[in-house]
Amino acid sequence: MKERALTIVSIIAALALFVGAPQIVNAYWLGVALQLLSGIALTQSWVAFSGLTGYVSLGHAVFYGAGAYVMALLWQSAALWEILVASGFTAAALALLIGYPALRVRGPYFVILTLGLSELCKYVVIAIEAALESSGRLLFDTPDPVFLYYIMLLLAVLATLLTWGLARSRWGAGLRAIREDETAASTVGVPVTFLKIMAFVLSAFIPGVVGAVWVLRTTFFEPMQLFSPTTSFTIVTMAVIGGSDGAPGPIFGAAFIVILSELLWARAPQFYLVLLGILLISFVLFIPRGIYGQLTALAQRRRA
Amino acid sequence: MSNLLEATDINAGYGEMQILKHVNFVIREGAITAVIGSNGAGKTTLMRALSGLIALQSGAIHFDGQMIGKLPAYERLDIGLALVPEGRLVFPDFTVHETLRVGAFARRAHAGWKARRDQMYALFPRLLQRRSSRAGSLSGGEQQMLALARGLMSMPKLLLLDEPSLGLAPMMADEVFSQLRAIRDQGITICIVEQNVQAALGLADYGYVFEDGQVRMEGPAADLLGLGSIRESYLGL
């Protein structure tokens, strides 16, 4: 009971801090906070599918890029919220299209397939843009950064609620059963194919909207950058480091990576990626449950 | 006794490969039906086809008055047909407790799952002792009990069991067989596939002998057990 009260108090405190941040911090730190919120939103949405089912997707960059592309194409020709919703639905529709064939394969095949499809989508967009004789699209009159920050905060909260709710639900139990053993999951009555596709589509919506917000912030759409597989790799890293079995993990993972990159990018940029690689390997080998998983395991051990 | 399940002229297999050839198969309500046969005779394929893990190539299956031949596995479970698969297939990282909970995933099994879990703990006291252990850390016998209990959590009318004694020490296998009797006495119909022919026919009311994907022989279990050809082929007597 005491622990629960503590959790609720810290959630409220963190939310208040994020809501108040634009009044307190300067533009630079607001940018860092935006990074953090987008990291949380993206990683939560990844965990909602890949964390729970064990189907490691390297395709999140596609959904992110597709959302950004929709925004770049429609900006100033429709209302902001309409484009944001369209971005989310475009990403979700793409997930439905990709998911149906891709979710038939498991393990390393699924990983490679999602990476391949992601690269394919990138080059399709590049080809379209080349055919339209466009070399990058500039977005004019984009909203105020503080406004975009609040949209991102909303997305981070929504994504956290999505993962939290899904992980606790009957469907979440079904998704975890799929991760453990797909055949056995069928024998206990889990509608395996339906659940996988449903979770994949749900998990694609958020990155679509995040990509759309992000391109408004950078005000420039360039497919190589917005469809870059680095987005997917960063998300997986955050999930592995934070823990991928529920909503708390991604918050720890995103915070860890954003703080680390703030500390190191400026001072030792060459060292940053090396350290990230070492950390990723160490977590996979020694702390596969991630920071949050390890913390709960330690707490349980102390209680027992 | 009426027939709970009737498979008529079913063909099934994997991709192009046909394993089951024109199988007619009946499970009577309240009875224990045994399926025996050597390796590769199609016993596991039969279980998979009946439970919906693989699609039929042709033929029909009636269960409890419904045509189920085209239903996916989860819908068959929803009307009371559960499979305990070969090799147990426990969820390694789930605790015993979590496994029983997810065993009640089917819609019809959702209400009252806690009371049913307590019944399972009464039926399998070893599971109660290990309720917080990871399923992957249990012994083979405990995993088999867990797989049985998980199947029962779905409130089946018919429980299909694929090789429940596989890899178990003889004493443990005896324990599982005596639990099957207790389950049958609660009114659950059982169909069991077994390598252990003596034990299976000793337990069952009716038996089928499979060979090369076809029904080679069928009859009351006691009659089959007395047949010279069965004793020679499967019991080495």
Query: Each residue of B9-41: pLDDT tens digit?
Result: 999 999 889 999 999 999 999 999 999 988 889
Closest by alpha carbon to A177, among A166, A190, A196?
A190
Interface test with B, best of A170, A187, A301 (most B CBs within 10 A): A187
pLDDT classification of B8: cutoffs 50, 70, 90? very high
- Predicted TM-score (pTM) of this structure: 0.90
Do the chains contact at A187 and B94, CB–CB below 8 Å? no
Do the chains contact at B90 and A184, CB–CB below 8 Å? yes
Do the chains contact at A181 and B92, CB–CB below 8 Å? yes
Task: Tell me the average pLDDT across B74-91.
Answer: 92
Instruction: For this complex, say whether ipTM is above 0.90.
Output: no
Strands (E), A131-205: 137-138
Of A173, A180, A186, the CB nearest to B73: A186
> What Å distances lie between residue A25 and A22, A84, A145, B62, CA to CA?
6, 27, 13, 69
Residue listed under structure tokens 């209400």: B111
pLDDT tens, position by position, A230-257: 999 999 999 999 999 989 999 999 999 9
Residue A116: HSE in the Cβ half-sphere, 13 Å Cα cutoff: 8
Give the integer Cα–Cα distance in Å for B206 and B192. 11
Q: Which residues of B touch A244 (CB under 8 A)?
A: none
Residue listed under structure tokens 């009875």: B31
Of B85, B98, B154, the CB nearest to A189: B154
Strand (E) or helix (H) holding B166: none
Listed in sequence order, the residues at least 6 apart from A249 whose beta carbon sits closer than 8 Å to its beta carbon are A43, A47, A51, A239, A242, A243, A290, A291, A292, A293
Closest chain A C-alpha to B4 CA, distance in angstroms: 19
pLDDT tens, position by position, B106-130: 888 888 899 999 999 999 999 999 9
Do the chains contact at B77 and A187, CB–CB below 8 Å? yes
Query: Domain-by-domain residue ranges, chain B?
Result: 3-235
Secondary structure class of A302 (helix, strand, coil): helix
- Phi, psi at A113, each rounded to 5°: -60, -45
What does A229-297 look like in DSSP terms, one character per residue? Answer: HHHHHHHHHHHHHH-SSSSHHHHHHHHHHHHHHHHHHTT-HHHHHHHHHHHHHHHHHH-TTHHHHHHHH
Secondary structure class of B208 (helix, strand, coil): strand
Secondary structure class of B44 (helix, strand, coil): helix
Fold observed for domain B3-235: Rossmann fold (3.40.50)
Tokens of B219: 């009859």
Whether the pLDDT of residue A4 is over 90: the answer is no
Average pLDDT, chain B: 92
For A2-303, give the CATH class: mainly alpha
Give the integer Cα–Cα distance in Å for B204 and A90. 57
Closest chain A C-alpha to B131 CA, distance in angstroms: 15
Q: Percentage of chain B surpassing pLDDT 70?
A: 98
pLDDT classification of B1: cutoffs 50, 70, 90? low
> What Å distances lie between residue B208 and B35, B85, B87, CA to CA?
5, 19, 22
